[in-house]
Structure 1
């Protein structure tokens, strides 16, 4: 098992005398026996486990609390900031995708349309320097968008 694996729950299976245990971990639909031995050293600091034993039963299940998205936002301002960041990330991703698909412009409603090149319409040809400069600016824009997106992800992680 990888140390970064998120556990579903842990189960202490007790002997009939409730003095020894087998610790079984459940994760990603799998289970793995991690340890066995005397139960007292493990529960000496867990009031919950001692209460479970006093009620009877031969197993104690430890589960993490269910994640609650709304509870993770301490104030409405934090929630609003999270939504604002998420919206900006989505706009950047659409822009990156539009740049990758060719020259497209996005209107206020998020619809994309092909842009027309006025120099081609007039019959003029671009020089190699103009083409190279245009490609460089596209690459710079792409890098800028990727950098901004990474920064927003970090800020979102700190907000959340």
Structure 2
């Protein structure tokens, strides 16, 4: 299935990725020297327009989960790509890309989580309930979409 443009990861120019990588490296270097990086981190968060914002921990520990380029790409992407009219079929296609470990899996995980209400929805693909151990991706998406939060 072809996804519409708003469901595809935005293409980030190489110059922008390099700029963000330089900023990440500058913050990381300052932290490694034991210096205060608060101003640089605040500027980085303002520049990337992240809703949650990155903290010292993110700059100190990103190496354990991703490369510098992956961190820069993550920071360059929109924080919460909410698409109000997303369809079930589109969610199935996004889920297929997640389980296939598409090069843009991190974007698709974030997109899927943002556009479904079930907490930790993507974890269902990796740890399905016992009765769905052999379910297709489409069946798992249907299970995720069947979740209804309880109003308190």
Q: Please say whether Structure 1 and Structure 2 have the same fold, judged by a TM-score greater than 0.5.
A: no
Higher strand share: 1
TM-score by length of 1: 0.20
TM-score by length of 2: 0.21
**Which structure has more RCO (C-alpha within 8 Å, separation ≥ 6)?**
2
Structure number with larger C-alpha Rg: 1
